[in-house]
Amino acid sequence: MSDLILPRIQVSGDAGRMENYEAAVRCAGGLPVCGYAPAPDLSCAGLLLCGGGDMEPACYGQESRGSQPPDPVRDRAELALFDAFLRAGKPILGICRGMQVINVALGGSLIQDLPPESRPFHGGADHDLVHPIRSSERSFLRQLYGPVFPVNSSHHQAVDRLGRGLEAIAWAEIGFPEAIIHRSLPIFAVQFHPERMSFGHRREDTVDGAPLFHRFLVLCRD
């Protein structure tokens, strides 16, 4: 398919670390428009917020309690991106940090540092760990993957209080959300990394992440 008729997807992430996200969008049938802290480009059909470092705790009304040093430039840019695409009614997909940005943008809060008992399951910043998560009964994740399924993780923060309009549809072993959707808008997000579970990065010890990108691209074509 010609790039001229592919849906353009704005992708925001860390400079030099968006290759896997870009590849997944392309394999799912989109044309990624990648940038670090970009201005909103509403000629794009949808927004993908990538993984990365911790948000500034002041963004959700807290002092630092285990957060790593933030990138305030990226924080401001991605909150503005989310607001612009939200107001335009365009689809938004968040991955890892991106899920946390969506939650904070809608008034939610974060667990700044997961408790030690969760570390064997969720990993640090430099490697993936594989663990099962549980999906809600009527969610699209249940339809895709069943009630319990294995995913990858590489994070030390997580969604705590849910933002306005958001609903958790999957949970980790200690109860924090692993996936969220908006009840009325085309917004969904996951804490794990489907870009490292799909297409050229498909792995045997997790489910296939490709259906999540295909779902997002379907929303972007509607």
Tell me the catalytic residues: 96, 193, 195
**Number of Cβ within a 10 Å radius of residue 169:** 22
C-alpha to C-alpha distance for 78 and 102, rounded to whole angstroms: 9
129-135 and 166-171: which strand pairing?
antiparallel
Euclidean distance between CA atoms 32 and 19, whole angstroms: 10
In this structure, is the dihedral angle defined by the CA atoms of residues 38, 184, 221 and 195, taken in order, positive or negative?
positive
Specify whether the CB–CB gap between 113 and 119 falls below 8 A. no
For residues 169 and 180, the answer to whether their CB atoms sit within 8 Å is yes
Neighbours of 5 (CB within 10 A): 7
Q: Which two tokens stand for residue 21?
A: 């996200």
